[in-house]
Amino acid sequence: HGVADGVRGVFSQLGQAVNDLLALPVRAFFSMFSIKG
């Protein structure tokens, strides 16, 4: 039971890291776009 909770926590942390990594280029793209506009 504790192992499943640990795995779930690791996956949620991984998902958060992936979301942050995916958000970086999107944020950079939008900031560049707004600067040009």
pLDDT in tens, the chain (37 residues): 799 999 999 999 999 999 999 999 999 998 988 877 5
What's the pTM value of the predicted model, to 2 decimals? 0.56
The CA-CA-CA angle for residues 23, 19, 21, to 5°, reads: 55
Token pair in block for residue 31: 């900031």
Specify the 3-state DSSP secondary structure of 8: helix
Integer angstrom CA distances of residue 9 from 19, 22, 23: 15, 20, 21
Token pair in block for residue 18: 């992936």
